[in-house]
Structure 1
């Protein structure tokens, strides 16, 4: 009886730990090596995976610095950097998803990479677009795709058509972007993605998030009817979701555009879900304000976006973020996490 009681108390404690995940207390001082820049380029996004060779591979977006920040929508390409340690320093290796023939849906731009290894293969989910060179034309042609390879430095096979396209008159009528994918306990795959509904052009309607499920990492992904991360009538509440499954539930970090979830202004917010379909703000909603806690001192930044996690033994140990400093200065940072 005593052993049963102890086990019950321990199980209850573990459940509390899972429910009370608090990233604001997990964030640790950041070494200078964890700052990644690519000379001559704007750097955005950043998703890392450890290869079988023991090296660390960072997939990121870049475009010419001379074109400034907003050119992500017309000129971005997904590139690869490598390091011998998870916090870097990372060095550019090559472009992974360059421009290609105009007949393709992602002919001009690749962006928003998020990398996963499922069943011995690497899956790189991303946003792609094509357009006439005009900003809004490219923005509204955003769609989600996937590229597959046997090795991070191997040959990447891109999808010839979007993995998640738009649905007329649905919440994702205009565009799909910002994909995030997690494998479910039953072996299927959950995707959460950003979308824009129908509305006055060129912006369109509300910026919302959808959920889709597939039996295979290459799809087909079946969309679920209800958008998530919704806040009353707020037109643009969140973006940049990153989802994962840990200790019996689903979690998501999103960019809280105006602080409608964290109540501290623009920030990163934590959500939780029992099934990946119905989401609510977690008990400790705040992940981070717009600050980088360098070992040498705290830096206040203008934007902190595109959160991505790296895991060791099933626990998040690094939070990768894109940092905006000015129209010509961006970088990626790997923020250590304490478990």
Structure 2
């Protein structure tokens, strides 16, 4: 009788362990997002937005809640030596529609908060004396020498501004150079005009400091680029689009890649905008053997903007993700969001965009990814 009981218990344990393994196997990046703790009351009235984003915490991230002046987009969080959090982002006057605002009036801006979740206070333009503050696809970072850097692209060839202090002033350091295609097309780094005789602006540029002391760029194409000689380059294109060897994934209309290093791995998340789906890849050296790790998040299936009380904000578009890494792990993501379809934001109306901060369990995520890598060896 006892042998039968032992056999039954063993069978139950085997089934349970199999189920757990199956559940672990299908985990994706989206499973590690955490509920947002409100920084104030969730507000229904007196703020912009469709019902799908009400009520919401107007103290989360960066927004002009009464839409008197600005719409916000892009951005990356940088922590200074005094423990304050800075978002270097872009904004445009609310009189513009979304479609006109980002390419007619977008300017580089700076906001600061005591709490990573917000509220972030707009401190003004980053480079008001350079092209009247013009900037888009704006992100910030700390350089290897400790200085603060802000990068802009899309509307410009791809510039880097630097400052000794988090609050500026930021001065133009120069344009990013990509001089060695390394056997790949220069179109992986810059837009190409219809005549294919000229390469223009960079787009969606994300710059990160590699642990080996080099600088790395991921632009719109997702092709990795490496500089041995500082943040301006020249950069070498080290590979093709990371998704090219996965024909089952969309091969066009991809954008907004973000890159980070945590848990001994390099990670890229990019967005396929027609399906509002973002995909996750990882690599052990950040250059070769990028492996598809599943859906990072999908607007129509996963609700990542969930508060601790269960309230959900269902933003219509979720774009421009960037990861904030501290002590070796991602702790938060930020997203650019808008409450309606972009063509429905007419300007000087009750629709707008903002930057939202979402907490993330990076410790558990890196542990999970470590297990995947060990199983592949």
Give the TM-score range, shorter chain.
0.7 to 0.9
- Asked if the contact 2:225–2:235 (Cα under 8 Å) also holds between the matched residues in 1, the reply is yes
Alignment map for 1:1-339 (pairs within 5 Å): 22-30=28-36, 31=38, 32=57, 33-38=59-64, 39=67, 40-70=69-99, 71-98=101-128, 100-101=130-131, 109-118=134-143, 119-127=145-153, 129=155, 142-164=156-178, 170-171=187-188, 172-174=190-192, 175-194=201-220, 208-215=221-228, 216-224=230-238, 226-230=240-244, 232=247, 234=250, 236-258=252-274, 265-278=275-288, 280-289=290-299, 291=303, 292-296=305-309, 297-326=311-340, 327=345, 328-338=351-361, 339=363
Distance 2:79 2:146 in 1: 12
More strand by percentage: 1
- Asked if the contact 2:276–2:298 (Cα under 8 Å) also holds between the matched residues in 1, the reply is no
Q: CA RMSD in A?
A: 2.7
Q: TM-score of the superposition, structure 2-length normalised? A: 0.68
Distance 1:213 1:166 in 2: 10
Deviations 1:147-186 (A, max 9, x none): 1111111221214444459988744452421111222232
Gaps of 5+ in 1: 1-18, 102-106, 130-141, 195-207, 259-264
Judging changes above 3 Å, is the alpha-carbon distance between structure 1 residues 80 and 127 closer, same or farther for their aligned structure 2 residues? Answer: same
Q: CA deviation at 1:45?
A: 1.1
Judging changes above 3 Å, is the alpha-carbon distance between structure 1 residues 125 and 279 closer, same or farther for their aligned structure 2 residues? Answer: farther
Query: 285-294 or 175-184: which moved more?
Result: 285-294
Q: CA deviation at 1:320?
A: 0.2
Q: CA deviation at 1:89?
A: 0.9
Judging changes above 3 Å, is the alpha-carbon distance between structure 1 residues 226 and 24 closer, same or farther for their aligned structure 2 residues? Answer: closer
Judging changes above 3 Å, is the alpha-carbon distance between structure 1 residues 44 and 99 closer, same or farther for their aligned structure 2 residues? Answer: farther
Query: 118-127 or 171-180: which moved more?
Result: 171-180
Distance 1:84 1:161 in 2: 32
More helix by percentage: 2
Gaps of 5+ in 2: 1-24, 39-56, 193-200, 346-350, 364-377
Judging changes above 3 Å, is the alpha-carbon distance between structure 1 residues 173 and 336 closer, same or farther for their aligned structure 2 residues? Answer: closer
Distance 1:321 1:286 in 2: 13
- Asked if the contact 1:45–1:112 (Cα under 8 Å) also holds between the matched residues in 2, the reply is yes
